[in-house]
């Protein structure tokens, strides 16, 4: 049986308090997935997602851009969510179009006020999350304290799947608790060396795996059966149960690392693929037509419905970023803007990568692409098949088009 290609798509957002390391994590993801060949450094202004000079000046991410990259046979569409509280509407819209998120925390500061507000927004949208405790190399970094602050202030059930190896400057790797394997990054190396758990950490790792197993078994009836039958849960059962708990929002997997030192980002990508949902695993999109609620499945054969979530004026033209929820959208298609009640024509469809745009003939349900040729669509516009109107978001105040050099 052919598996649905949508199962290998992850529409991912990275949520963080300003300065927690969102840009650095994004950079590392793009670097590790081969999207960029040179490591961008935040401080020298070469980062790929920070297009806007104003943004570079202020050191914050002002607008959402979506970049596609590949990891372990999956396509990850990375949707950049504004971290600054002034852009709450944009955060809301980006939360709408993504299916899962990584929340980045600072291992010294733990939960900060802004992480709380973005976390609550993600709660409202029912976005499954993984927590990444970054900056483990900093003086004063403390995973347990960061996890305690996550538990106390954000109230999820934290499922800590790693034990750090070394502290602060000596943070060199992690023990992967589901598999009980050590991942160690040598200085300057991009890839981790995998090996047995160091002798000095064996007891502590076993204790923490037990804590994880108990937390999982308590909340997951399937895992509980195996837990009762055996001494420990197998790595496969534990991973499957962690995936279910993440997708239902009953638990938040916690990982740690140092994006700056390129430590811990590969396991983070593996966790995105393993635990976060594909477009097929999330509820069908809901919209309205003539006052009645309608639902559309993430099915390429269903009538097309897509939400525009960002419009950028670029040298390539007016680039409208779309989340396609159902159906198929093709180059040259005439589509219906359910807000303005006018037709528009799709010119080119582009897969946006960090370093180039790949032209596509079509995009299907679940995908995130940019299109060229739309004249009036703005962030928040619904585009749909002319014969099957559906409004995904009520027409609101037009947001200005962002000019990108």
Q: Smallest distance from the beta carbon of 186 to ligand GDP, in angstroms?
A: 17
Token pair, residue 326, equals 């159902």
Is 81 annotated as belonging to a binding site? yes
Is 80 annotated as belonging to a binding site? yes
- What proportions of the chain, in percent to the nearest 5, are helix, strand and coil? 30, 30, 40
Q: Smallest distance from the beta carbon of 43 to ligand GDP, in angstroms?
A: 6
Is 82 annotated as belonging to a binding site? yes
Q: Write b or e for each residue in 2-12: b if 16 or more Cβ atoms lie within 10 A of its Cβ, otherwise e.
A: eeeebebbbbb
Is 18 annotated as belonging to a binding site? yes
What is d(CA 68, CA 349) in angstroms, rounded to the nearest whole number? Answer: 14
What is d(CA 331, CA 350) in angstroms, rounded to the nearest whole number? Answer: 10
Q: Smallest distance from the beta carbon of 15 to ligand GDP, in angstroms?
A: 10
> Three-state DSSP class for 66?
strand
Is 20 annotated as belonging to a binding site? yes
Q: Smallest distance from the beta carbon of 313 to ligand GDP, in angstroms?
A: 24
Q: In terms of C-beta density within 10 A (0-12 exposed, 13-18 middle, 19 or more buried), how is residue 341 classed?
A: exposed
Of residues 40 and 287, the one with the C-beta less far from ligand GDP: 40
Nearest Cα neighbor of 141 from 183, 115, 109, 187 is 109
What is d(CA 5, CA 26) in angstroms, rounded to the nearest whole number? Answer: 24
Q: Smallest distance from the beta carbon of 112 to ligand GDP, in angstroms?
A: 11
Cβ-based neighbours of 383, under 8 Å, separated by 6 or more:
304, 305, 306, 307, 308, 322, 329, 335, 336, 337, 338, 344, 374, 377
Of residues 43 and 403, the one with the C-beta less far from ligand GDP: 43
Of residues 95 and 391, the one with the C-beta less far from ligand GDP: 95
Of residues 80 and 226, the one with the C-beta less far from ligand GDP: 80
Task: Write the DSSP assignment of 321-379 as a string of letters.
Answer: EEEEEESEEETT-EEEETTTTEEEE--EEEEE-SS-EEEESEEETT-EEEEE--SS--T
Q: Smallest distance from the beta carbon of 136 to ligand GDP, in angstroms?
A: 7
Cβ pair 374, 367 in contact under 8 A: no
Cβ pair 40, 47 in contact under 8 A: yes
Of residues 118 and 163, the one with the C-beta less far from ligand GDP: 118
What is d(CA 70, CA 50) in angstroms, rounded to the nearest whole number? Answer: 20
Is 84 annotated as belonging to a binding site? yes
Is 19 annotated as belonging to a binding site? yes
Q: Smallest distance from the beta carbon of 304 to ligand GDP, in angstroms?
A: 34
Of residues 77 and 258, the one with the C-beta less far from ligand GDP: 258
Torsion of CA 133, 136, 139, 144, to 10 degrees: 60
DSSP state for residue 399 in the 8-state scheme = P
Q: Which residues bind ligand GDP (CB under 6 A)?
A: 16, 18-24, 42-43, 83, 134-135, 137-138, 258-260
Q: Write b or e for each residue in 23-46: b if 16 or more Cβ atoms lie within 10 A of its Cβ, otherwise e.
A: bbbbbbbbbbbebbeeebebeeee
Q: Smallest distance from the beta carbon of 83 to ligand GDP, in angstroms?
A: 6
Of residues 46 and 232, the one with the C-beta less far from ligand GDP: 46
Of residues 220 and 261, the one with the C-beta less far from ligand GDP: 261
Q: Residues at the annotated binding site for GTP?
A: 16-23, 80-84, 134-137
Q: Residues at the annotated binding site?
A: 16-23, 80-84, 134-137
């Amino acid at each position: 049986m052919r598996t649905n290609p949508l199962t290998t798509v992850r529409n991912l957002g990275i949520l963080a308090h300003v300065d927690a390391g969102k840009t650095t994590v994004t950079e590392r993801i793009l670097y590790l997935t081969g999207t960029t060949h040179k490591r961008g450094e935040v401080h020298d202004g070469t980062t790929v997602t920070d297009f806007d000079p104003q943004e570079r000046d202020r050191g914050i991410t002002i607008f959402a851009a979506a970049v596609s990259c590949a990891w372990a046979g999956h396509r990850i569409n990375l949707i950049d969510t504004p971290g600054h509280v002034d852009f709450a509407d944009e955060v809301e819209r980006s939360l709408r179009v993504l299916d899962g998120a990584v929340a980045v925390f600072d291992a010294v500061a733990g939960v900060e006020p802004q992480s709380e507000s973005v976390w609550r927004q993600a709660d409202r949208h029912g976005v499954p999350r993984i927590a990444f405790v970054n900056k483990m190399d900093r003086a004063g970094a403390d995973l347990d304290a960061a996890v305690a602050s996550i538990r106390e202030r954000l109230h999820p059930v934290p499922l800590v799947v790693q034990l750090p190896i070394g502290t602060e400057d000596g943070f060199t790797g992690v023990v992967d608790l589901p598999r009980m394997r050590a991942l160690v990054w040598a200085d300057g190396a991009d890839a981790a060396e995998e090996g047995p758990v160091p002798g000095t950490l064996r007891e502590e790792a076993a204790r923490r795996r037990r804590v994880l197993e108990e937390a999982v078994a308590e909340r997951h009836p399937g895992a509980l059966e195996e837990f009762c039958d055996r001494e420990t849960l197998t790595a496969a059962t534990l991973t499957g149960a962690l995936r279910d708990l993440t997708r239902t929002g009953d638990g938040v997997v916690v990982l740690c690392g140092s994006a700056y030192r390129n430590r811990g980002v590969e396991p983070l990508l593996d966790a995105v693929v393993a635990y976060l949902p594909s477009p097929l695993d999330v509820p069908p999109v809901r919209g309205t037509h003539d006052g009645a609620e309608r639902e559309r499945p993430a099915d390429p054969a269903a009538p097309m419905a897509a939400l525009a979530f960002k419009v950028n004026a670029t040298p390539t033209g007016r680039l409208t970023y779309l989340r396609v929820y159902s159906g198929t959208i093709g180059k040259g298609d005439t589509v219906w803007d359910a807000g303005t009640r006018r037709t528009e024509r799709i010119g080119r469809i582009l897969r946006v990568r960090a370093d180039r745009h790949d032209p596509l003939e079509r995009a299907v349900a679940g995908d995130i692409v940019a299109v060229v040729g739309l004249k009036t669509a703005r962030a928040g516009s619904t585009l749909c098949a002319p014969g099957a109107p559906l409004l995904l978001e009520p027409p609101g105040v037009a947001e200005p088009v962002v000019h990108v050099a």
